[in-house]
Amino acid sequence: MNSKTSRHGKPFFAAATLSFAATALLLASSPATAHAVAGDRVFPSTMAVDDPGVGDEANFEYGHQRVPGDNGDQSINTFSFEYDKLITSRLALSVDGAYVMQNNPTARGFDNFGVGLKYLLYVNAPHEFMTSVGVHAELGGTGSRAIANSFSAISPTLFVGKGMGDLPDSLAYLRPVAITAEAGPSLTTGAGQPNSFDYGFTVQYSLPYLQQQVHDFGLPQPLSNIVPVVEFPLSRSQGQTTGTINPGFIWINRYGQFGVEAQIPINSASGSHVGILVQAHLFFDDIAPKTLGKPLF
């Protein structure tokens, strides 16, 4: 489970270096496994559209975008984090937050903090399908006045994932493809504040799946653990759709993952330049399965 922050300071390179260093300590060569598993399928934790799994994990992201503002374009840099803790093997509690730096006007500080619950409803291993439901609350007034809203937002969401491993032999090289999606309203508590409907999907091609389940081409590290992905995070409010198209890749193995994506605005209301997302993600259920990564019940 990973939170989404709509407002994305320090240069990108400092955050990217820090994320890479933290990830490299844990991402030694090993088979790709993770918490969101349906049969032979591993759904990685994508950066803008949440995956359908639950687990003990921590997510760190840096984002940079230029978006329209009242005084022209704004450059926004976001350093976000999320920690998820399994209550049971199917139910996870999350806490998240983000430090935001923007110009035009210049402001910096923490955005509102959030809490969430996510429940794994159903897994069909032979068909590599899984679905979850969740609810996330952004708690109004918990962040900096210069950055955060004074009102809260409640977001019930449905998550689904489907791998193509059940395709016939004639389409074997499409079996590494997977699609994930999420959809749900964002309901604000502020008087006169608009609600929105947030949705999105991803298309992935898993090279680990290709190597292990279709044909071993002998791809070297780190290529053999890469998942090319395109994400489409979208939102509709007051008759206007905004969002981005995010092509990139995720390097995943047993203990965590590192990812980089571009953020291409779909229209002028979504931004004026291509942005970037950088992710470091840790799987505590594999790093420390008997302690930190163990469900409470």
Distance between CA atoms of 287 and 61, rounded to whole angstroms? 20
Answer yes or no: are the C-beta atoms of 259 and 242 closer than 8 Å: no
Domain-wise residue ranges, the chain: 12-287
Per-residue model confidence (pLDDT) at position 68: 78
pLDDT (tens, 9 = 90+) of the chain, 297 residues, equals 775 544 433 444 444 444 444 444 444 444 444 579 999 999 999 999 999 999 999 999 999 998 877 777 889 999 999 999 999 999 999 999 999 999 878 999 999 999 999 999 999 999 999 999 999 999 999 999 999 999 999 999 999 999 999 999 999 999 999 999 999 999 999 999 999 999 999 999 999 999 999 999 999 999 999 999 999 999 999 999 999 999 999 999 999 999 999 999 999 999 889 999 999 999 999 999 999 999 999
Radius of gyration (C-alpha) of the chain in whole angstroms: 19
- Residue 96 is predicted with a pLDDT of 98
CATH class of this structure's domain 12-287? mainly beta
Q: Tell me the C-alpha distance between 124 and 38, whole Å.
A: 6
Q: What type of residue is 143?
A: G
- Name the burial class of residue 169, with classes exposed (0-12), middle (13-18) and buried (19+) by CB atoms within 10 angstroms of its CB: exposed
pLDDT for the residue numbered 76: 94
Tokens encoding 260:
């980089």
d(CA 165, CA 106): 49
Q: What is the pLDDT of residue 52?
A: 97
| Per-residue confidence (pLDDT) for residue 104, from 0 to 100 | 79
Q: Are 86 and 54 in contact (CB under 8 A)?
A: yes
